[in-house]
Amino acid sequence: SSRTMAPAPGVACALALATICAAVTSEPGARQRALLQRPQPAEPVHTYGVKTSREMIIAAGCFWGVELAFARIPGVLFTDVGYTGGHAADATYRAVSRGTTGHAEAVRIGYDPTQVSYAELLGVFFDIHDPTTLNRQGNDVGTQYRSAIFVADEAERSIAQAAIAAESMRLSKKVATTIEELDVFYPAESYHQHYLEKGGQSAIKGSTDPIRCYG
């Protein structure tokens, strides 16, 4: 997709764009809605000496809307967008958008597993995009827009495999989502971070406002 600098907060983005960002379903799916309705704790729960935050990285097409969808989930502590899963030694938007580096547009999600589980977040992942299209979400085409789950260990791999099998059965279609080893995550340029929130869309926990692709 063509990308430009983010508009000022609260100002609708009225840009003439050649393609649409179609990664995110604008209305929450059933699994997504169930998590959005959970109460958000005032602060993450901590147990002395125990790390209670974890990270996951997924790819589901254009990363702007994907990030906003996860930012709204209670139990999610932070989100940022970037590039991962490629063969080039570095990643920038200009290079990745050519589709030659092997990197995917991805979202890194920090979450509190005492509030929301890895499996539940994968449910949101499947709700917000079409996992049956290979290297494509809407008009965004290329390996950089692939559906992928980047796993850090065998436990995550097992959960991801079960989630893909369940989604394929639910849809009665083959799922194109790949499971890939967690690789270097290159944070995207600053203007891509929280892009839709900067454009005036709500990132408040529990928000069910439709996600509009360009602010």
Q: Express each pLDDT in 16-47 by its tens digit.
A: 233 334 455 567 788 888 888 887 766 655 55
**Catalytic residue, candidates 13, 21, 62, 213:** 62
213 given a catalytic annotation = no
Q: Which residues of 109-143 are buried (b: 16+ CB within 10 A; e: fewer)?
A: bebbeebbebebbbbbbbbbbbbebebbbbebeeb
Note the pLDDT of residue 48: 54
Stretches where the chain sits below pLDDT 50 are 1-22, 215
Note the pLDDT of residue 9: 32
